[in-house]
Structure 1
Amino acid sequence: YLAKLLGTTEEAIRAQRTGLGIVEAWDAVPVSGVENAAYYYSTYNAPDRVAVSDNKKKIMVLGGGPNRIGQGIEFDYCCVHTAFALRDLGYETIMVNCNPETVSTDYDTSDKLYFEPLTVEDVLSIYEKEKPLGAIVQFGGQTPLNIAKQLEEAGVNILGTSTDAIDLAEDRDRFRAMMEQLDIPMAESGMASTPDEALAIAARIGYPLMVRPSYVLGGRGMEIVHDEQMLRHYIAAAVEVTPERPILIDRFLSNAIEAEADAIADGTDAFVPTVMEHIELAGVHSGDSACVIPPVSIDKKHRDTIADYTRKIAVALKVVGLMNMQYAIADDTVYVLEANPRASRTVPLVSKVCGLSMARIATEIMMGKTLKQIGLKHVAYPHFGVKEAVFPFNMFQEVDPLLGPEMRSTGEVLGLADSYGLAFYKAQEATQLPLPLEGTVLITVADEDKPLVLDTARRFADLGFKILATGGTYGFLNDKGIAVEKIQKMHEGRPHILDAITNKEIDLVINTPAGSQSQYDDSYIRKTAIKHKIPYITTPAAAAATVRGIEAKRKGEAEVKSLQEVHAEIR
């Protein structure tokens, strides 16, 4: 803040501060019922009361900071498993984090916990005091990555993947050049540092486009842009375009299946335990989309291609530790969307479904082991794991719960079962909005989605559900021979949808947005469903998974198994 106020650099202020002998001191946080808990906070107004051990084998781990959209407990999972792995390898662990809600900030997770903000100034002060062998930045999400380069320039030894590889993955032009060198398809893209550049790139690539700022958490500021007017509005209203913070522009692959793969790499080789398929189509942020492991609708050739591309990219980037890759499958081609040379929010899910502690193995690799020494093997998974996102819409009832490229979820849950349908049902149940096994389903979808929900509607009818639909959807389903009753929208008179939801006459809502061209806003349908705790679906793909889940539950397939029993079945 001083640097900003005085119009100078942080480095200059730090040099002047330390030159004057103004340095941070640390004191212990009292922990109830625990003597000598190694839990510390800093101050400039007291003597330093924290002793430094003589142990030369010390490693610093940077956590994820406060919980917020895009940066959640999934990264803390990685930090905790890293701390445990380092302890087992004989290292003293120094955790730096500032979130009292997390497990990494429990006094007994690491040998020393510094409860400090994840800023260059604070991390450097601790590093200079403790003098560890190095710092691990790849398990705390985007927050520590954003300061990794500055830390390295200040003399911090960054363990694992190099900061140059991290920057290369974020730099669209350098990353595209690498993909061309590796002969890996990538959706056309560009990076613009001025508004004119952005318009020129858009004209070259063609609409629709996916645009986003660089170096952001959870797709913040990301939008699908359909024409030049929308792009101009985005540049003017949403972001500041500068050479230091350019915007990334990609061709949007409509109706593509999205997939992602997490890899463990040692710099010369990479291991990809599985591929995760997104249930929602491309355009929904990966943190918000429901996902399934193993994939249910991706051909084996595409799964093999994804694993092959992931290995090639990990080796080319010289990744040491974890890496997450995101792909889109369109027109029988696998396209690379982006590479994240760090732990992703899917690591806990992949670890649990595959029975593999990815964060622990990645830590062992960063400490010198190779994949060959660890001896990981590919196996077949006899069960399915479905991840579902948890949203805070019940706390913000006036917010339209539509999903898009900007992340909105604040948590995630996992459903494990022997069938995909039952795993999906269990995941929905874990979000506190269980799917109904009978009753009435409301279907009101946009024109382009009507053919996509036809099979879903037919299956609901076969299950004995009463189907209500609004004008256009009613006409479409009725013409296709499905038993359906018409219900009025709010502007058409009473009784209407709102009355039916309020009176608990509807048990499930399937509603996709009619688009900005629609004369009437139907967001009230989704908002009212949230208010009355009625499950709501906003994409045709999720609707198809929903009916599959209800079918599986109705068949009585449910069987309770411990995680250990599930893992014992993996061969």
Structure 2
Amino acid sequence: MENIDPLGIHTGESLVVAPSQTLSDREYHRLRSASLKVARRLGVVGECNVQYALNPNGEDYYIIETTACFEPALDYCVVKVPRWDLSKFNHVSTKIGSCMKSVGEVMGIGRSFEEALQKALRMVDETLYGFHPYHSVPDGQELEQPTDKRIHVLAAALKQDWCIDKLYTLTRIDKWFLYKMKNITNMYTILEKLLGLAHLTPDLLKRAKRMGFSDKQIAKAVRCTELAVRALRETHGVLPWVRQIDTVSGEWPASTNYLYLTYNAESHDVKFTPGATMVLGSGVYRIGSSVEFDWCCVQCIRTLRQLGHRTIMVNYNPETVSTDYDMCDRLYFDEISFEVVMDIYTHENPLGIILSMGGQLTNNIALDLHHQRARILGTSPQSIDGAENRFKFSRMLDRIGISQPRWKELTNLEAAKEFCSEVGLPCLVRPSYVLSGAAMNVAHTHTHLEDYLNQATAVSKEHPVVISKFILEAKEIDVDGVACEGVLVCMSVCEHIENAGVHSGDATLVTPPQDLNTHTLTTIKSMCAAIVSALEVHGPFNMQLIAKGRT
């Protein structure tokens, strides 16, 4: 593996590519031989990792740190990209270096560097289009002193034709990588010059897809919709191929179902048998979405297999158990996006898709999958939308007679200030379709309100942002449960020790509750039963409630 960033940036903070792309054959074998000598000398049994510092202008190298039976045969390219959540913290340094700050990582697999890089960048943040030149602006200082956003600054600089020599001087990223990244921004320029989708030829469409462009990314460049690009792809037969990772170095035919999609191929490596059950994972670890979701996915897969079902897992996090290829019958190590999931669904024709184990990422694509007539197992996408969309959820609460804090859908800053003055500060500012409290804040003054609204609207422009009266001196209660076709089957109540206002992921919880009376617990159960019935919940659910005082 080769770090794309130069020495001085921790491997966990760097973009990494495998196999190495800029080493000569001589350099590669020198480092390989040295690694074998180290392993033998130390008597290593099992896995071994050796990290080197290599002079790019000579052959000097230094070792800086130290159950597969065979080396894998790499007819593919892998790019690892770290995930940072530094924006959640005030006054934190966004500089990256020898101190590791990332909270997770993803692995994009393709058959070209450009394809793998763009996949990985979308995996690390589903709101990104890929190596997109409009996520940031060129900034020489940020290129020279790297931050968590440098890759986006680099894309912007390449799009504005900063010369490769200058970028190399600033970043010390090998020119080979910079030229490959330039290929992507050049394709953007070509696509943007088209006069609409009608001028996108099959050849150009295939070139863009082979360079890792998503349908949404192409649509953004040619000014149309993602579904229009998908329809054009299908019309011209520009479809992805399913390839298999060879884990046995070509010693004998690979039997592992470790799969990925690519446009840089001409055939499938596997045959398809309809009727399996497809489970979507939760993607990259981030603050608010971590190993607990992967545990749910693994337990789901294990249970399905015990019941005799063939299973398909879709996930792209190399740190998870769900991406161990022996956990399921088929593992697709690929994006969890509407486009990719629908492509896999079309190839595999599964019994259905289970979304409920993947958390927010899978909830976000539920309606899009439903509109393309994908079979969703469990709670229906319309009900998921009814629970996630705060406007629809509020209307449902009013309809079934459950009280809620006063709220207003956000339209503009002045209207928000007027509402806050009417109900009295503090108020809670939050967008729909979010987990982990992203862009969710309590505004205590109008100045805070303005700052928080600017932050919130950047999270989800497609869903409404609402402000609610924040209830002071209240107790928060977490309920986890399971429902079957809208009927509550079982539930567990957790009581927050801190007052409401501390996110449940940061709060101290206790179960069974110690400071709730029988009347309150009975009311909670009745409310939950009414809500799951109204939403026709079919599967697991989580609900948060607040109690004023002890009732």
User: Do the structures match in fold with TM over 0.5?
Assistant: yes
Question: 1:11 — aligned with what?
Answer: 227
The 8 Å contact of residues 57 and 90 in structure 1, kept in 2 or not, is answered as no
Task: Provide, for residues 230-273 of structure 1, a one-character-per-residue CA deviation record: whole Å limited to 9, x for no partner.
Answer: 21232245534987332121111112111111111112411233
The 8 Å contact of residues 366 and 384 in structure 2, kept in 1 or not, is answered as no
1:109–1:219 CA distance, 2 compared to 1 (3 A): same
Superposed CA RMSD: 2.1
Amino acid across the alignment from 2:268: R
Q: How many residues align?
A: 332
Question: 1:501 — aligned with what?
Answer: none
1:237–1:178 CA distance, 2 compared to 1 (3 A): closer
> What aligned pairs does 1:10-29 form with structure 2 within 5 A after superposition?
10-29=226-245
Task: Provide, for residues 173-223 of structure 1, a one-character-per-residue CA deviation record: whole Å limited to 9, x for no partner.
Answer: 332222223222212222213333323332333211111122223111111
1:247–1:206 CA distance, 2 compared to 1 (3 A): same
30, 38, 45: which one aligns with 2:264: 45
Question: 3-state SS of the aligned residue for 1:113?
Answer: strand
1:152–1:46 CA distance, 2 compared to 1 (3 A): same
1:145 to partner: Cα distance: 0.7
CA distance in 2, matches of 1:153, 1:43: 25
The 8 Å contact of residues 161 and 318 in structure 1, kept in 2 or not, is answered as yes
380, 405, 422: which one aligns with 1:162: 380
Question: 3-state SS of the aligned residue for 2:324?
Answer: coil
1:98 to partner: Cα distance: 0.5
1:237–1:163 CA distance, 2 compared to 1 (3 A): closer
185, 190, 195: which one aligns with 2:403: 185
The 8 Å contact of residues 40 and 114 in structure 1, kept in 2 or not, is answered as yes
Question: 1:84 — aligned with what?
Answer: 302
CA distance in 2, matches of 1:305, 1:254: 21
Amino acid across the alignment from 2:223: G
1:61 to partner: Cα distance: 0.7
1:319–1:242 CA distance, 2 compared to 1 (3 A): closer
Amino acid across the alignment from 1:330: K
1:118 aligns with 2:336: yes
The 8 Å contact of residues 277 and 310 in structure 2, kept in 1 or not, is answered as yes
User: Percent identical across equivalent pairs?
Assistant: 40
Question: 2:247 — aligned with what?
Answer: 31
Using the TM superposition, name which of 282-291 and 238-247 deviates more.
238-247
> What aligned pairs does 1:491-502 form with structure 2 within 5 A after superposition?
none
CA distance in 2, matches of 1:242, 1:297: 37
Task: Provide, for residues 146-175 of structure 1, a one-character-per-residue CA deviation record: whole Å limited to 9, x for no partner.
Answer: 011111112211111111111112233332
The 8 Å contact of residues 275 and 349 in structure 2, kept in 1 or not, is answered as no
Question: 1:210 — aligned with what?
Answer: 428
341, 359, 365: which one aligns with 1:147: 365
1:200 aligns with 2:418: yes
CA distance in 2, matches of 1:112, 1:236: 43
1:332 to partner: Cα distance: 4.0
Amino acid across the alignment from 1:13: V
1:266–1:237 CA distance, 2 compared to 1 (3 A): closer
1:124–1:190 CA distance, 2 compared to 1 (3 A): same
Question: 1:246 — aligned with what?
Answer: 464
312, 318, 327: which one aligns with 2:530: 312
Task: Provide, for residues 428-467 of structure 1, a one-character-per-residue CA deviation record: whole Å limited to 9, x for no partner.
Answer: xxxxxxxxxxxxxxxxxxxxxxxxxxxxxxxxxxxxxxxx
1:225 aligns with 2:423: no
1:104 aligns with 2:322: yes
CA distance in 2, matches of 1:207, 1:328: 18
CA distance in 2, matches of 1:89, 1:241: 40
Amino acid across the alignment from 2:242: W
1:238–1:178 CA distance, 2 compared to 1 (3 A): closer
Using the TM superposition, name which of 4-13 and 109-118 deviates more.
4-13
1:277 to partner: Cα distance: 0.9
Using the TM superposition, name which of 201-210 and 112-121 deviates more.
201-210
> What aligned pairs does 1:457-472 form with structure 2 within 5 A after superposition?
none
Question: 1:299 — aligned with what?
Answer: 517
Amino acid across the alignment from 1:313: I
Question: 3-state SS of the aligned residue for 2:365?
Answer: helix
Question: 1:271 — aligned with what?
Answer: 489
1:320–1:238 CA distance, 2 compared to 1 (3 A): closer
> What aligned pairs does 1:282-431 form with structure 2 within 5 A after superposition?
282-333=500-551
Task: Provide, for residues 489-521 of structure 1, a one-character-per-residue CA deviation record: whole Å limited to 9, x for no partner.
Answer: xxxxxxxxxxxxxxxxxxxxxxxxxxxxxxxxx
Question: 3-state SS of the aligned residue for 1:139?
Answer: coil
Amino acid across the alignment from 1:51: V
Question: 3-state SS of the aligned residue for 1:186?
Answer: coil
1:4 to partner: Cα distance: 1.3
CA distance in 2, matches of 1:189, 1:268: 27
The 8 Å contact of residues 258 and 329 in structure 1, kept in 2 or not, is answered as yes
Amino acid across the alignment from 2:442: I
1:2 aligns with 2:218: yes
Task: Provide, for residues 7-63 of structure 1, a one-character-per-residue CA deviation record: whole Å limited to 9, x for no partner.
Answer: 211111111122222111121123359951111012111133333343x43111111
Using the TM superposition, name which of 305-314 and 94-103 deviates more.
305-314
47, 61, 65: which one aligns with 2:283: 65
Question: 3-state SS of the aligned residue for 1:45?
Answer: coil
CA distance in 1, matches of 2:450, 2:525: 38
